[in-house]
Amino acid sequence: MVTTVAISPELARELKLLKMEEGFASIEEVIEKMLVEYKKRRFLEASEKFRERMKEKGLKLEDLTK
Amino acid sequence: MNLVVDTNILFSTLYDPASDAGKLILFALERRVNLFAPESVKLELEHNLLKKLAYAEAEARETIAALPVKWVESGAYAEAMDVAKGQLAHEADVPVLACALVLGYDTVSGDKHLLSIKPKIARVWRLEQLIREIQR
């Protein structure tokens, strides 16, 4: 099943260009890849903050898991 | 592959994304595996972030949202809690096993209590063993 998403013509052009440049089979594949990359970045940012906070608090991993 | 994870795995992945736990999360972000965890794990994560690491509530929410885990409400695995209690002495692990039993999924853990579960009850993977299996 598919659905329609309204985006500006300019963004649609950019997505098509990216699809061709990167060799994706479809716009859907482009968007999926972008979502995965976005989520990876969000996770890595969360991880960085977590490590910083542990360092600030002088805690080890075992202090959180016991 | 569908897997139930415990709190230790999630803290380990946040601590070191290059570790095996981190690899598992990256596989989930790439939709190569689906991760599930009981609500109790989410509450434990939240409690530790707020109380031990002094996160603001919004920061804790963002951190938990960054984990590619589907949270399973306690009502969904309540029926298996007694069976799980009979298998585990360590109370914090009981919802993890109950969740796995109800969903019919394997569990991945570094916890000695969960790893001691008999295979005929539930399959519990060691992290390194699971990563090797996924990468095969």
- Please enumerate in sequence order all residues whose Cβ is within 8 A of that of A41, keeping only pairs 6 or more positions apart, or say none: none
Cβ pair B31:A36 closer than 8 A? yes
More confident residue, A27 or B111: A27
Interface check for B118 against chain A (CB to CB < 8 A): the answer is no
ipTM: 0.89
Residue A66 above 70 pLDDT?
no
pLDDT reported for residue B47 = 95
Average pLDDT over residues A16-21: 96
Full DSSP string of B73-128: -HHHHGGGHHHHHHH-S-GGGHHHHHHHHHHT-EEE---HHHHTS-TTT--EE-HH
Per run of 10 residues, the mean pLDDT along chain B (length 136 residues) is 95 95 95 96 96 96 97 94 87 92 93 84 91 88
The reply to whether residue A49 touches residue B31, judged by beta carbons under 8 angstroms, is no
Residue A51 to chain B, least CA–CA distance (Å): 6
Measure CB to CB from residue B11 to each of A36, A42, A65 and give the nearest one.
Answer: A65
Instruction: Report the pLDDT averaged over residues A46-63.
Output: 94
